[in-house]
Chain A
Amino acid sequence: MECASQTNKKEIKANNYNRNNHQLRIICSADTLRTLILKNSVRVVDVRKREDYLQSHIPTAVSLPLSQVLSKDTPEGIIDILQNLGIPDEMPIVTYDDTFGALAARVAWSFQYVGHINTALLEMTFSQWNNLGLETEKKDNIFPKEKHSLNINHEIHADTSYVTAAKASPSKILVDSRERLNFLTEHIPGAKNIPYTMLGSNGGILRKPKEIRRFIENRGISTDSEIITYCGSVGTLSGLAYYAFKLAGLKNVKLYSKSFREWKSLGKPKEEFKDANYWDLSAE
């Protein structure tokens, strides 16, 4: 269903949003988001491809394809993006995608990293939103520029030297979010595998917190540990894992955003498993 009849028309809105800022936490329900949209007190960020956005999107959403974030992936670059999207410091942000939450997670993490704490992921993908018959529109929303301060949140980020040093500390656990066969093929030595496929549920991008907590505890990982998540290339799958672990109540979680791609390119050690032809089990 569509709220407006205009198609693909650019509309620059006055930024007279309701400054009674709602504090979001990790996941934003569809109900909450709809209320915030009605109250005009949220910035909805669509992380899908630009052409998908132009087809149909959640009302008031702005378009921010992941590629844009990755091409400006420095703290200053992210601040620039926030300012251009008309997002001031305290404004609640809700991100969504159609890639089981992984792209939305990576963007949300970038915002939180540069200090925009009031950011959450929509509990579902755009397809699920659409299938429920919730409101959509086609307008290309653009808002006046705002000022945003830079306040780096070092707590949630790990770089290669941090990961290298962390391996010596038993209370720091490295979690690989890639699928099982990729993990078996090669991974950072000592990493534990929690594939992103374990984290989603049928109706939403993440399972119930108690289930995710149980997966962690089953692996003998203390929920007091520091967890560093990584994946194959740019921190999307591990971005989703970052939020899954936060949702499960873990206090100290970091994203190794440059992930295994950088680790390998630097010639760092890998653990490999070559004693079985597991790839031949695939039916593709």
Chain B
Amino acid sequence: MGFTKLYEVGITGKGIRVGIMDSGVYAEHPWLKGRVVVARSAFDYEDEKDYFGHGTHVAGIIAKLAPDASLYSYKILDSKGGGDLFTLIKGFDWAVNDRVNVVNLSLGSPVNCCFSTIRLLHDSSKEMGVFPIYAVGNFGEGRVACPAMIEDTIAVGSVDVDCSIADFTSRGPGCFFYRRPDTYAFGGGSKSCVISAWTPLSKTRPGMYACVRGTSQAAPQVTAATALFIQAYRERFGVDPKYDDLKRIAEVATRDNVLRVDEMERAVINPIAQLLLSLALLLVGEAVWRLRTR
């Protein structure tokens, strides 16, 4: 069971606003035409278009997996792929004011931000109904990127096609020694990569599609899954889910592998269990599912 099963029952991200805090989005790309509702830039010296390519790649993954979600592009990384704390503040400000439901942050910093403005931004955002999903970083074992190191974030690592954890995925203790990441999705590895939209505006790698690897490519899959989950939850219960519940489900689904998924699959008569099963499978990704069942 994957994303397609959910599309068949009308769970496509309809009515869900997905924010992308990145290098902007090339909205004219064939995969993204008509999908970007809002585009903003945090830079005085650059417009909202993507001159780097990364944001368009991330947007392509989300657009494909959550086909009816509206995309909100917040350009907080410039044409060299760099931003700072101040552009991040602007991004969060926009996301909250635009009432975005889930926001993808495929970015990181090597600094320690356990006691930082970012923690406060994260806490306030989730209280205001914005769900941030973070890439855990590509530093390998023992080092986790900021903001994914903050213990109550949803931090996403990457698995390879052979279902092994990608060697570049950051993992290890985050703030207060909490083990990161929480969950994994396919983000490519030594033998694979993720194909998605790319921007012709990029000077370094021109073209309409590109094959890229990293936790940046894993996080948008969890972002898209979260968008579908919020829609399903909203339709079922009439309210939006809580960020902390989502985080707990992601952790449990990843930790308890197929045994738990099997139990839930047998209990699909219960619509809530079915919903949880769908989310569990979506969050851990089909790669992890295959790993546990082979």
Are A and B part of the same complex?
Answer: no
Q: Which residues of B contact A (CB under 8 A)?
A: none
Q: Which residues of A contact B (CB under 8 A)?
A: none
